[in-house]
Homo-oligomer: A and B are copies of this chain.
Amino acid sequence: MKKIVIIGAFFLSGMSVLAQTSDEKMLKDIYNSSLTNGKCYSWLEHLSNKIGSRLSGSENAEKAVQYTKAQLEALGLDKVYLQEVMVPKWVRGEKETAYILDNKTKITVPIAALGGSVATPKNGLTAEVIEVQGIEDLKKWGDKIKGKIVFYNRPMDPTFIETFKSYGGCVDQRYAGAKEAAKFGAVGTIVRSMNLRLDDYPHTGTQSYGDLQPSEYIPTAAISTNGAELLSQKLKANPGLKFYFKQSCEQMEDVLSYNVVGEIKGTEHPDNIMVVGGHLDSWDLADGSHDDGAGVVQSMEALHIFKRLGYKPKNTIRVVLFMNEENGGRGGKKYAELAKTNNENHIFALESDSGGFSPRGFSIEADDANFQRISSWKNLFEPYLIHSFVKGGAGADINPLSSGKIVKAGLKPDSQRYFDYHHALNDNFDAINKRELELGAATMTSLLYLIDQNGIME
């Protein structure tokens, strides 16, 4: 008996060595393919430079749907189709203007209306300013807020190593700042841009009036970090100074748009679905190359690599290019809703929506057993300098997806530069490094491959 056990153990360990070796070879092929014959950089060049910014409901967003659909069709996938989804349409209107009125001096500062904001009165809005360090400060000021502009100026904390944590600790000022200040009678809000760097770019982003009545909505805009520093400094010298801003943005009727979907049918478990995706829409100030053109083309590249290597997945692999992550998340919700309606069994979903920088690892939403299993592949990723396997949120678009024991993951690129560009006018193609983008695509493809080979633990 003992002998048999030993032989058995040897046999099993031999099997596992073989699997490791063939996995090692497959990962090497995946990375080589991405770095030598990848299409993601040229796809992104088209999305960014030939199409441009892709805010939901815009003509460019529609062009991006048609372009990516055609590109997926050209890959010879088993199926490429669109999913209808109604999306909000918000338009910025003419470029915003703003200045500090310090006695008789006007100092122009760069602002950008926040997504979903209402316009100022046609000739703009002038009021005194109350600077706060966050929503929790509003109570301190109470009635004094009435008729004023609230200026949220809590900066991102530079001591977090991962910049997404700094963002998480600040973004409530942008998302809920107007709603909360309106309750105290503010006439507008100005928010320090979510940016760790001091520069002149205002960073837009979504905001919500929550359950306020439309009559209670107040205009809100982001100010560049340099502008915020200046305003704060001027306020210290003259607390009675005024701030002027003018914006003509508008929320229109919802319009029809699409998620773009392409799939390779699984050979063994065609009903098990693995999703890989990013979001097709972007903010309107730039090309959205990092947010999230990068995630879109990396997800497309995963299927491209499998096709090129002749790899036939056991499970169905589906690329989904979600519409409307930025200001509504309607694409993600619609996809999850249809998955439920159609009784689809999703075993895995992987999103890239943290920029196209050097990949460092994955943020994983899974139970302990599946998390341990994925972490056990760390050694396979080591030659590619992928080292960070942590539990955490996977991505906004795949968040609504719930299906049995679905495992989710988000690609974690190096985060140091991300908020230099996020939602600002410099999120353009020249901020992309081809190799970093391709390494990210290969890293995603490798995880898809390993999950496809090993399944998830139900």
- A residues adjacent to B (C-beta < 8 A): 31-32, 35-36, 158-159, 161-163, 196-197, 358, 360, 383-385, 387-388, 414, 416-417, 420, 433-436, 439
Q: Is the CB of A416 within 8 A of B435?
A: yes
Q: B436 to A417, Cβ gap below 8 A?
A: yes
Contacts of A159 in B (CB 8 A): 31-32, 35-36
- Contacts A358-B358, A358-B416, A414-B358 hold; do A385 and B161 have CB atoms under 8 A apart? yes
Decide if B387 touches A387 in the complex (CB within 8 Å). yes
Q: Given A417-B433, A420-B433, are A31 and B161 neighbors across the interface (CB < 8 Å)?
A: yes
A433 to B162, CA, bound (A): 15
Q: Bound state CA distance, A80 and B210, in angstroms?
A: 61
Question: Does B387 contact A435, Cβ atoms closer than 8 Å?
Answer: no
Q: How far does the alpha carbon of A387 sit from the alpha carbon of B386 in the complex, in Å? A: 9
Kindly identify which residue among B32, B416, B435 contacts A436, using a CB–CB cutoff of 8 Å. B416
Q: What is the CB-to-nearest-CB distance from A291 to chain B, in angstroms, rounded to a whole number?
A: 17
5 more A-B residue pairs beyond the given contacts A31-B161, A158-B435, A385-B387, with a C-beta to C-beta distance below 8 A: A35-B159, A161-B385, A197-B434, A387-B388, A416-B433
The answer to whether B385 and A158 have CB atoms under 8 Å apart is: no
* B-side contacts of A384, CB under 8 Å: 161
CB neighbours (8 Å) of A197 from chain B are 434
Q: For A434, list chain B residues within 8 Å (CB).
A: 197
A323 CB to nearest B CB, Å: 30
**Distance of A435 Cα from B418 Cα, bound (Å):** 11
A157 CB to closest chain B CB, in angstroms?
9
Chain B residue numbers with a CB within 8 Å of A417 are 433, 436
Contact of A385 among B32, B196, B388 (CB under 8 A): B388
Which residue of the partner chain B has the closest CB to A38? B158
Q: How far is the CA of A31 from the CA of B416 in the complex (A)?
A: 14
A443 to chain B, nearest CB (A): 11
Residues on the B chain within 8 Å of A387, using CB: 385, 387-388
Per the bound structure, the CA–CA distance linking A159 and B161 in Å amounts to: 29
Write out the residue numbers on chain B whose beta carbons fall within 8 Å of the beta carbon of A420: 433
| CA gap between A197 and B387 in the complex, in Å | 26
Contact B158 A439 (CB under 8 A): no
* Min distance, Cβ A302 to any Cβ of chain B, angstroms: 18
Chain B nearest CB, measured from A31 CB (Å): 7
Can you name 18 A-B pairs with beta carbons within 8 Å?
A: A31-B159, A31-B161, A32-B159, A35-B158, A36-B158, A161-B383, A161-B439, A162-B385, A163-B435, A196-B435, A197-B434, A358-B358, A360-B385, A387-B387, A414-B414, A416-B439, A417-B433, A420-B433
B residues near A439, Cβ cutoff 8 Å: 161, 416
A285 to B328, CA, bound (A): 48
A417 to B436, CA, bound (A): 8
The residues of B that contact A163 with a CB separation of less than 8 Å are 435
Give, as a whole number of angstroms, the nearest-CB distance from A430 to chain B: 11
A-B residue pairs, 9 tightest by C-beta: A387-B387, A416-B435, A35-B158, A416-B436, A32-B159, A358-B414, A417-B433, A358-B416, A161-B384
Distance to closest chain B CB from A26 (angstroms): 15
